[in-house]
Amino acid sequence: MPGETTLPAEAAPRLPALPAWLRARPEYLLSPLALLAVLLLWQGVVRSGLVSVYVLPAPSDILAALAEGLQSGLFLRHGLVTLSEAATGFAAAVGAGLLIGALIAEVRFLERAVYPYLVAIQTMPKIALAPLLVVWFGFGPMSKIAVATIIAFFPMLVTTIAGLRDTNQGRLDVLRALGASPWRCFIAAKLPGALPHIFSGLAIAVIFCMTGAIVGEFVGATAGLGYLIVQANARMNIPQVFAILLVLGVIGVLAYAGIQGLRRRVLFWDKS
Amino acid sequence: MSTVLEAARPAIATPRAAPLIAVRELSKVYPTAKGERVQALSHIALDIAEGEFVSLVGPSGCGKTTVLRILAGLIGDYAGSVAVRGRAHCGPSREVGVVFQDANLMPWRTALANVLLPAEVLRLKGQEARAKELLAMVGLAGFERKLPGELSGGMRQRVAIARALLHDPALLLLDEPFGALDAMTRDTMNVELARIAAASRKTVFLITHSIAEAVFLSDRVLVMSPRPGRIVEEIAIDLPKPRGLDIIADRRFADTVVRIRRLLDGEGTAQLPSIAH
């Protein structure tokens, strides 16, 4: 009989109706809930005395320190110092990385002469140069710019070289068959084709230059968020240290998002 | 043989009019990584007359792409002589437009901007209208602003053909232009190519390993031997033009395809009584 084979329409247990956006992207609700749960647990653990407040301050204390730092203008003043150091270092690293990367990728004898050394330097932790650079360039912003430049330079260099080496030979054949000059080939095919790699380099460099500026400030400075962290640490003002880390995190996320936004505009054609 | 196909000619083409392209004693040796020398081409001679559609068929690795790259000016280091309209040809030339196996479009340029690329390189002004006409001729009117990533493989190859024609070259070189397309698209593109070649009145030199494609499109088919590449046979295709896909059912078409097939299968000219005359 046909009636026996059909299942009852209301057999499945019904969930309460969720809005469509939530059904499509449940993480929009789940991630904030997870964060809230962790913060509550953290607050509970610290308040119960299981962990010393000097080791791990309560989230509420961190938020208070953050509000205080933002309201007094302290974070803004030092943040601008660090940001300008990092931005200058970023610009220098990007410029130098693109130029030297292009020269190494395009000029065969330069590649043979210089590339082994660059690989050797690449394996060295550049951050270890920070104390030396402070000796060379002093306690002002110049030494921080130098550290930021050096550690952001290498990802730019390596990705520029990789991108230019990855050139699509077929596109070059099209240009060469038209008698295009090497410069025209570079501008019309190689450089645009290298941009996906170069943008990977920019995303790394924008984070690295912040790290460089902070480390430079750790070693010796009179201003900046890195300087502020060292000061707060020395005074055992741990909530302020955490608050500054939060500020640095936000700056990092914004800088990275800025690069990705630029990438979407420039690499509108790159679907990967 | 009682077909309308001409009997085999000598391997050196007999020019009907003053040839657009004249190749004599063309040889090419490649050095290998081990320091050996590989003879890619051996004493190639061919003529291509103005307005002719000539195909070069041969097995993979026989050096047919090397011939095309020399004609395109992408390989300048060879022995022998290559002349375009009687003038020695060594290096890229405005007389030549090339379509490769891959469309090789710049993915960051729109279809129209890709077609205009030769105008930028050769510093030709005011070519927009012509570029649009060419896109319309290859059946892409209305697709001017699309990016290559938004086009199908066949459409990208149409853009590449329009680009190769922009600077109005005398000779259009095609290196297996539809080799990367599926069989049905390929058939369509071949009909289109025949139409475009007739409409643009270009001299066309096509490299392919599809015998049917060569016979369908060409006035003459040159058959190349495996390495070292030599031209072993030249077959004139006297099927009436324009040809539609229904010509595949024509007996003469089938006979010619079989004949070339046998040549390529290495049975050699001497063993084929119908050709060794």
Closest Cβ–Cβ partner in B96, B107, B120 for A177: B96
Residue A253 sits at φ, ψ, to 5 deg, of: -60, -45
pLDDT along chain B (277 residues), means of 10: 40 58 85 81 87 90 87 88 82 89 94 95 91 90 94 92 92 89 84 85 90 90 84 86 81 87 66 33
Closest Cβ–Cβ partner in B93, B121, B148 for A175: B121
The tokens describing A103, both together, are 């020269």
List pLDDT tens digits, range A71-109. Answer: 999 999 999 999 999 999 999 999 999 999 999 999 988
The tokens describing A101, both together, are 């990367």
Q: What percent of chain A has pLDDT over 70?
A: 94
- What domains are defined for chain B? 1-95+169-269 (3.40.50.300), 103-167 (no CATH)
Instruction: Please tell me which residue, A120 or B8, carries the higher pLDDT value.
Output: A120
Nearest CA in chain A to B147: A269
Count of CB atoms within 10 A of residue A245's CB?
13
Give residue A14's pLDDT band: very low, low, confident or very high (50, 70, 90). Answer: low
Give residue A6's pLDDT band: very low, low, confident or very high (50, 70, 90). Answer: low
pLDDT of B36 = 81
Q: Do B100 and A180 touch (CB under 8 A)?
A: no
| Residue among B54, B27, B56 nearest B40 (CA) | B27
pLDDT of B209 = 83
What are the chain A neighbours of B148 within 8 Å (beta carbons)? 269
Closest Cβ–Cβ partner in A168, A173, A184 for B74: A173
pLDDT of A124 = 87
Which residue, among B75, B121, B127, would best test binding to A if mutated, counting the most A CBs under 10 Å from its CB? B121
Residue B124 sits at φ, ψ, to 5 deg, of: -100, 135
Rounded to the nearest angstrom, the minimum Cα separation between B69 and chain A is 9
Fold of A64-266: MetI-like fold (1.10.3720)
Rounded to the nearest angstrom, the minimum Cα separation between B72 and chain A is 6
Residue A172 sits at φ, ψ, to 5 deg, of: -65, -40
B202 and B170 in contact (C-beta within 8 Å)?
Answer: yes
Helix (H, G, I), strand (E, B) or coil at B208: strand
Instruction: Measure the CA–CA gap between B174 and A185, rounded to whole angstroms.
Output: 22
Whether A128 shows a pLDDT value over 60: the answer reads yes
Assembly ipTM: 0.83
Nearest CA in chain B to A180: B121
Count of CB atoms within 10 A of residue A244's CB?
27
List pLDDT tens digits, range A142-161. Answer: 999 999 999 999 999 999 99
List pLDDT tens digits, range A185-241. Answer: 999 999 999 999 999 999 999 999 999 999 999 998 999 999 999 999 999 999 999
Beta bridge partners of B250: none
